[in-house]
A and B are shown apart, each in its own frame.
Chain A
């Protein structure tokens, strides 16, 4: 299949792209020095480790660079790096799509297995096809209640459809990288390729180390958001708190990388506490059981709707996510702000 050069250069994952991948693999990447160099540049550029964009000539090169970059990132075996790269790739895709006509979105979408139609103004998609999409659950704009829906068809503006494509794409590439991880771990790499990967990893960690990574710090309870403090205190008093509040506290603590026993401590005084059941539930929320799905901490707007949010002052006036509250409070504290983490503290001492 011969692809339009421009399209494939911009979207190197389109159906048929793999025709251009003759004989390239991570183990023999050093035989293609230009591809190796461009792949390294692409990863660095997209992860904002360098300001120089890779200078890719044509569609063949673009497909090879894209594939090599995924393999290199998978080889790091570092899930954070994989997720960040997936995020960066999806941002790049969204920017490219924004410069294209909406008509071209359909080709990209169908390469990702998304079925949709376009009437020149808006896109439509069967509800069941929407329900089967992966990777779209964290964007309010893509959640079903926000979308026009009639008789089993959802309607999407070009902007929303573009966002949807980029989220599905992120899921697809992250999934691809994660599933390649085990398989590539034992690949025999040349020193040149290894060095390239290691230097990306080192720079990535250094960059991330400069930012506050909440999950890598020991938890600081005094900086927890008001909702977590409030519901944890209620449980400590032996109050039987609503299910959604328990879900919030548990997912929040899990997101801080606390282990199950530490999380259980918060639930010990609830009236119906049964360690076996609680342990099972926490492990389930942490994705250590069954489906392996790790549940995310609900966003503030959801918590407000559910009546679980307890504060509308200070940082919480416009807060979007409890983890963001925590992260900002840590940053404030590090800068010496004495009021960090004290919003609404007077309402429930």
Chain B
């Protein structure tokens, strides 16, 4: 379960519940030894590097022998301008329409940019539910792994449309009336802009806004990033960092599929249920009338509700 390609070349990091500092520069020979370590000393957060190293346990970064780094794109609701100010998102609970938007952005990146423009293969792309408010898209392609920051910066500005000179798409038919017409069609950004302008009757500038993705350049440029390891728990939600196939993203429901199966049940008193009427968490359907009620819930569901302030522990 804890497997990841090139497992032995990765650096691992852990954050213990009692400590603020991360324990890092650890390496494991296989997933089983990692599992043993986790059982012996359960940490709150488990991270592994997106970089591959000759000597991942070497504490001096320069001596690790960097081989390359996967490319990581993060789509988190709290970084998306349409969502970040919504009260429920601030609380860390997304409703179905929020998830649809996060999923749409993720798919736009994968299908339009990574596959259609960059020519990556499905098998070189993977998606993880981050365990909280979004998805990580990971690209593990031999040709791309050793790209330096300059190269990654070019990809980032391609995706967020920053270097796009919209005027170069047009000939100005009449400078005074500012009538513009696209004169030629070419794959990539130009075709994308033209299509949106035709279909949605938008200006070129709005088409760029519509089609570009505001990705976090720092994440993509960070060659030594540690991210949450797959199949471990996110300590802020109790949900599992879950790998998803590209075509499985639409049917993936984080509050159902990333909840740990547990036979244990606990008693909680529900609070603020009216804020999330209809939301499904594990096997619980939240409804307004649950506020104030005492429920016996599956442990993982209870943990999520407790951590999000939607329930209080009893006893």
- List chain A positions with a Cβ less than 8 A from chain B: 126-128, 131-132, 134, 137, 140-141, 143-155, 291, 293, 301-302, 305-306
The 22 sampled A-B contact pairs (Cβ below 8 Å) are A132-B147, A134-B150, A140-B163, A143-B163, A144-B155, A145-B163, A145-B165, A145-B189, A146-B164, A147-B188, A148-B187, A148-B190, A149-B187, A149-B189, A150-B187, A150-B188, A151-B116, A155-B187, A293-B150, A302-B162, A305-B161, A305-B164
Which of B119, B149, B166 sits near A152, CB closer than 8 Å?
Answer: B119
Residues 103-132 of B at the A interface (beta carbon under 8 Å) = 115-120
Are A132 and B151 interface neighbours, CB within 8 A? yes
Are B163 and A152 interface neighbours, CB within 8 A? no
Are B155 and A149 interface neighbours, CB within 8 A? no
Measured CB to CB, the closest approach of chain A to B212, in angstroms, equals 9
Which of A126, A144, A155, A293 sits near B157, CB closer than 8 Å?
Answer: A144
Q: Which residues of A contact B188 (CB under 8 A)?
A: 145, 147-150, 154
How far, in whole Å, are A144 and B164 apart by their CA atoms in the complex?
A: 8
Are B157 and A128 interface neighbours, CB within 8 A? no
Is B144 on the interface with A (CB-CB < 8 A)? yes
Q: Which residues of B contact A306 (CB under 8 A)?
A: 162
Q: In which size bucket is the chain B interface?
A: 20 to 34
Which of B143, B154, B155, B168 sits near A140, CB closer than 8 Å?
Answer: B168
- Give the interface SS of chain A, mostly helix, strand, loop or mixed: mixed
Known contacts A132-B147, A147-B188, A291-B149, A153 near B119 by CB under 8 Å: yes
How far, in whole Å, are A126 and B141 apart by their CA atoms in the complex?
A: 14
Measured CB to CB, the closest approach of chain B to A160, in angstroms, equals 11
Is B158 on the interface with A (CB-CB < 8 A)? yes
Are B118 and A127 interface neighbours, CB within 8 A? yes
Are B186 and A155 interface neighbours, CB within 8 A? yes
Are A143 and B157 interface neighbours, CB within 8 A? yes
The chain A residue with its CB closest to the CB of B144 is: A128
Q: Which residues of B contact A305 (CB under 8 A)?
A: 161-162, 164, 166, 208
Residues 179-198 of B at the A interface (beta carbon under 8 Å) = 186-190
Known contacts A127-B118, A150-B116, A144 near B186 by CB under 8 Å: no
Q: Which residues of A contact B168 (CB under 8 A)?
A: 140-141, 146
How far, in whole Å, are A154 and B161 apart by their CA atoms in the complex?
A: 17
Are B118 and A152 interface neighbours, CB within 8 A? yes
Q: Which residues of B contact A150 (CB under 8 A)?
A: 116-117, 119, 187-188
Are B163 and A144 interface neighbours, CB within 8 A? yes
Q: Which residues of A contact B163 (CB under 8 A)?
A: 140, 143-146, 302
The chain A residue with its CB closest to the CB of B117 is: A149
Measured CB to CB, the closest approach of chain A to B36, in angstroms, equals 37
How far, in whole Å, are A140 and B187 apart by their CA atoms in the complex?
A: 18
Q: Which residues of A contact B208 (CB under 8 A)?
A: 305
How far, in whole Å, are A145 and B154 apart by their CA atoms in the complex?
A: 9
The chain B residue with its CB closest to the CB of A150 is: B187
How far, in whole Å, are A290 and B120 apart by their CA atoms in the complex?
A: 31
How far, in whole Å, are A231 and B120 apart by their CA atoms in the complex?
A: 41
Q: Which residues of B contact A152 (CB under 8 A)?
A: 117-120
